[in-house]
Amino acid sequence: MNKKIGVVSLGCPKNLVDSEIMLGSLKKKGFEITGDKEEANVIIVNTCGFIESAKEESINTILEMAEYKKGKCKLLIVTGCLVQRYRDEIKKEIPEVDFVVGVSGYCEIAGIIDKAYNSGIEAVSSNAVYCDNNCGVEYLTNDRLLSTNKGYAYLKIAEGCDNCCTYCVIPSLRGSYRSRSMEDIVCEAQSLAKNGIKEVILVAQDVTVYGRDLYGEKKLVDLIRKISGIQGIEWIRLLYCYPEEIDDALIKEIADNRKVVKYLDMPIQHASDKILKMMGRRGNSEDIKNTLAKLRSSIPRLVLRTSLIVGFPGEDDKDFKILYDFVRGFEFDRLGVFTYSREEGTPAYNLKPQIKKSVKDSRRSDIMQIQKEITVRKNEGRLNRIYKTLVEGVADDGIFYCGRTYAEAPDIDGSIFFTSQEPLKIGGFVNVKILNVDDYDLIGEVMNESSK
């Protein structure tokens, strides 16, 4: 099979893992993977359908990829979350799409392509939708083809979600929470280590409840300990930890385990008890504050990241001031803000009053402005310090290398740009002294043994 396949992956790290599983399945079947869409005979778009902006990006990308059908591309396949929500609409409104495949059909892609070429598109198109969002997690055990060569890899430990926040479509798209077996996860981590991966990033909609559905109790700490015993793995990072499930055992493990980076992504969404209750969040502001205080007091140099939603229905000026004052007072190291996206099929869709877009945008801007000041000030506090840094590549200017310390997660945080007198191995570690701050990014130089 000499057909060339191009894959575009959109959305979150969990989606990227799914794309890499597709790539692994396709390569195993003998297909050639290409990054050049003009050379691709088949293009696959793995979509995100989480919020309105993600849907727009997915649709625009599908339309952009459809243009390649004027050239060598003969099949356009759309997969992922957008298919779960709008599979019929996609087929109807974008006729250039040949097949739509839901979140449980990633490993069927190779067979679909084979059948399309051997029997014709019409012969298989009616059977090409795989949309059981409560399928198992067995597909995650398939071989992956890593899409980056930067020394890190995401490791999905569970699928789905049971939290049922009123604004979120994930449970309806991905189904209930299903943990992978610990043996499967450790086996994949060992494979990643053998392939030169130094940092594994554990991901799920909520990693803190890992194992509860499978073993009757939370097993994240046990999983971390097993992965930390794998030779070659030097960093273990956790995305994402819901505050109400962070217990003393997990805090102690993060503090004591030298391989667990002192970085935690803990989405709190808001600080007003009224809004938290309307969001369907299980904790309240006092619980959140207590957990945050315990984390900071127990784990020296801990970097805390959170995500917030502004403009949720019913959020008045008082609620926003509570949130703003909390952000200003607590000073998160990293912070992202979403404006509330009104999503069909969610309980919050019919809540009133809905907030005007201009108000939502203004509130987001206010939060991001104060957070930028906080981040820059914290970055300035890192000047002249030396950090172990993962080398991820060469910057666009060809002068600087780029990478991350323990304090930055890929894709969502800033980067470290640094010079070196000697050539560096991508995916390896070096010690970098921070010399300058460029807002969210840092600039430095590699410290050789003689210069320390």
Asked whether the predicted pLDDT for residue 227 surpasses 80, the reply is yes
User: 56-65, 113-122, 375-384, 426-435: which range is least confident on average?
Assistant: 113-122
- pLDDT per position as a tens digit, 141-169: 888 999 888 999 999 999 999 988 999 99
Tell me the C-alpha distance between 143 and 192, whole Å: 10
Question: 267: which residues sit within 8 A by CB, 6+ positions away?
Answer: 240, 242, 306, 307
Categorize the per-residue pLDDT at 404 as very low, low, confident or very high, splitting at 50, 70 and 90. Answer: very high
Categorize the per-residue pLDDT at 131 as very low, low, confident or very high, splitting at 50, 70 and 90. Answer: low
Tell me the C-alpha distance between 120 and 134, whole Å: 30
Q: pLDDT value at position 451?
A: 43
Report residue 416 as tokens.
């470290």
Q: What percent of the chain has pLDDT over 90?
A: 75
Note the residue count of the chain. Answer: 452
Residue with the two structure tokens 């003969």: 74
Mean pLDDT of 431-447: 95
Mean pLDDT of 225-249: 96
Mean pLDDT of 69-98: 89
Q: pLDDT value at position 1?
A: 55
Question: 281: which residues sit within 8 A by CB, 6+ positions away?
Answer: 165, 269, 270
User: 41-45, 135-139, 189-193, 331-335: which range is least confident on average?
Assistant: 135-139
Mean pLDDT of 404-419: 96
Asked whether the predicted pLDDT for residue 392 surpasses 90, the reply is yes
Tell me the C-alpha distance between 190 and 231, whole Å: 8
- pLDDT per position as a tens digit, 350-370: 999 999 999 999 999 999 999
Q: pLDDT value at position 185?
A: 97
Q: pLDDT value at position 124?
A: 63
Indicate the average pLDDT of the chain.
Answer: 92
Q: pLDDT value at position 450?
A: 40
Mean pLDDT of 180-198: 96
Categorize the per-residue pLDDT at 329 as very low, low, confident or very high, splitting at 50, 70 and 90. Answer: very high
Q: pLDDT value at position 123?
A: 61
Q: pLDDT value at position 143?
A: 84
Query: Within 13 A of 434's CA, how many CA atoms are on the CB side?
Result: 23
Q: pLDDT value at position 136?
A: 73
How, if at all, do strands 416-419 and 401-404 pair?
A: antiparallel
Asked whether the predicted pLDDT for residue 15 surpasses 60, the reply is yes
Q: pLDDT value at position 88?
A: 84
265: phi then psi, degrees, rounded to nearest 5: -100, 110
- pLDDT per position as a tens digit, 282-325: 889 999 999 999 999 999 999 999 999 999 999 999 999 999 99
Residue with the two structure tokens 């495949």: 101
User: 38-47, 136-145, 166-175, 190-199: which range is least confident on average?
Assistant: 136-145
Q: In the beta sheet, which residues pair with residue 281?
A: none
Domains of the chain with bracketed CATH: 4-127 (3.40.50.12160), 138-380 (3.80.30.20), 386-451 (2.40.50.140)
